[in-house]
Amino acid sequence: MGGEQYQGSDGITYQTDSLVLGDNKGTIYEAIKGSQDSALFQSYRFGDLTIQQPVENGSYEVTFKFAEPENPAIGERVFDVYAQGQLVIDELDIKLARDGKNKSELVRAVHDVTVTDGLLNIELKASKGQAILNALVVRKTTTTSVDIQTSNDWELVWNDEFDYEGKPDPNKWSYDIWPAGKVNDEDQTYTDLLENVQVKDGNLIITAHKEDYGNAKYTSGRIHSQGKGDLLYGRVEVRAKLPKGQGTWSAIWMLPSDPFKYETTCSQDEDWQGNSTCDAWPNSGEIDIMEHVGYDMQTIHGTVHNKAYYWVNSEQRKASFEGETVDQAFHVYSIEWTPEHIIVFFDETPYFFYSNESTGWEAWPFDHPYHVILNLAIGGSWGTAGGPIDDSIFPVSMEVDYVRVFKPLP
């Protein structure tokens, strides 16, 4: 917005914004953090904005890209985003959404924007301060701008359809049994109790309870496929229905099966998770297929972590998707992972693209096998960022219909 044509790292060509009503342009002179396309965010439009784009009738995904250009306090710039007259992003505070950081990329995608009159109409309206927008991507729901393989290109190599009863298949899954506070200041203890993790009626059900257990006030479950279902490059699909309620923090994600691949400060085989003296994390990487916190019910997040780009240095690479029914219906959360890139999807809509910059393991530790993790945390640093845990929500569950892992066909 307000700038020249630009070729993005995700293969998208960004055109000049001749269809924006108004002429309020701004420039950010500092480098934008958290982005592989910093130059895209150097210019922006501000004020109450209207964008009118002629398009074919149909259903569209619209991706909005922002970077806070100034240094407002949280709550000083708040605005809504409308598409075809419908509210699609409610009370967006860029600084709050970007963990209190300025001049860091924020990406929000919405889907099922239906055009019936040949004109896509986008509006940004501020309730506090002025709305801003750095870039906009519009694409048909049935098409994508990246080289995404079809179902015929994949071979199923590992899966769990959860078509049995009882505990998760021990040939495919292991439990993490952890006390509260081991990682992320989480408030639950993870157990192997059937009340926390069970397979029933065709689904894996991870349930958090409010109950005294050890030194914790909550219990929940976390399982992983390390050593039983590892993957280097391919596609991971998880069909799930997410929990609802203030204080929940559910995740479908991946960690390296050899966490010490790129460590520099650890003793081999030490307990590295939650260990501040061991840099196995973030050095050896993390891929978040889906994260969701209950205080922001409509938003799901895809993220990668590595030594070069993670939250400590304000360079975390991530994007978010507005999925309004995530607690009411099952959706498919997936990634496609190649030696060149990682793409994160919501129901086959790609919304986060991270490319291999070929600068070394610090930015691309994603060259060795990873495994799948499914968990439901309670509280913690992110789960309570929007306020305290709501004890009235318990018991609360995440349900998983299946986990499928594919390799590309030769």
- Which residues are catalytic, by number? 286, 291
CA 315 from chain center: how many Å? Answer: 15
Element (H, E) at 383: helix 380-383
CA distance 120 to 56: 9
- Measured CA angle at 309 (ends 61, 232), to 5 deg: 75
Strand pairing category for 119-128 and 49-54? antiparallel
Contact by Cβ (8 Å): 123, 100: no
CA distance 217 to 61: 41
Contact by Cβ (8 Å): 144, 69: no
Task: Write the DSSP string, 130-143.
Answer: --EESEEEEEETT-
Compute the residue count for the chain: 410
Q: Which two tokens stand for residue 340?
A: 């060149």
Report CA-CA distances (Å) from 63 to 21, 101, 209, 377.
Answer: 19, 21, 36, 29
3-state percent helix, strand, coil for the chain, nearest multiple of 5: 5, 45, 45
The DSSP symbol for 41 reads G
Closest Cα to residue 107, out of 407, 390, 354? 354
Contact by Cβ (8 Å): 244, 220: no
Closest Cα to residue 183, out of 248, 276, 300? 276
Beta strands in 58-201 (DSSP E): 58-67, 78-83, 86-92, 105-115, 119-128, 132-133, 135-140, 154-160, 174-175, 188-190, 197-200
